Amino acid sequence: MDIERFNERKQELSTAVQRLGEACAQPFSSFIRDSVIQRFEFCWELAWKTLRLKLEAEGVLVNTPRETWQQALQAGLIQDGNAWTEAQKKRNLTSHTYDEKLADDVYNYVLQQGLPLFRKLAAEAAKWQATN
């Protein structure tokens, strides 16, 4: 595993989660909602790719987000598989954000559940050491 790449990815995840938090703290508007959804998408991508690198360092090869979340749960890197399954469902909805009701649903999810989930993962990831 490329240790430098792993450390960069962890830092990118931390920064993305911080920016998601900043967006979530803003008063609601459709512009802010759309920004929160975009930041959520960034966090999702960085989260699974960071986990993939950590799993690779432990000798577990995964290719897809779904495989990554399943193996991360088995490896004890994440604890709440149901919460991450829900996050994946919301991420899949983001391609339909032209639908105002769906966009509002994803926005509210991120405020209430998504942001805390990403914050927890980013805090845990900051402690991980590259092993190879």
Cα–Cα distance for residue pair 10/105, rounded to 1 Å: 28
pLDDT exceeds 80 at position 130: no
Give the pLDDT band (50/70/90) at residue 35.
Answer: very high
pLDDT exceeds 90 at position 110: yes
3-state secondary structure string across the chain: CCHHHHHHHHHHHHHHHHHHHHHHCCCCCHHHHHHHHHHHHHHHHHHHHHHHHHHHHCCCCCCCHHHHHHHHHHHCCCCCHHHHHHHHHHHHHHHHCCCHHHHHHHHHHHHHHHHHHHHHHHHHHHHCCCCC
CB distance 97 to 103 below 8 Å:
yes
Cα–Cα distance for residue pair 42/27, rounded to 1 Å: 21
Longest dimension (CA), the chain: 46
Instruction: Output 13 or 131, whichever has higher pLDDT.
Output: 13
Candidates 1.20.120.330, 3.30.300.30, 3.40.720.10, 3.40.50.1110; correct CATH number of 3-125?
Answer: 1.20.120.330
Q: What is the per-residue pLDDT across 62-78, written as a single tens digit (0 to 9) for each? A: 999 999 999 999 999 99
Structure tokens at 72: 């991360």
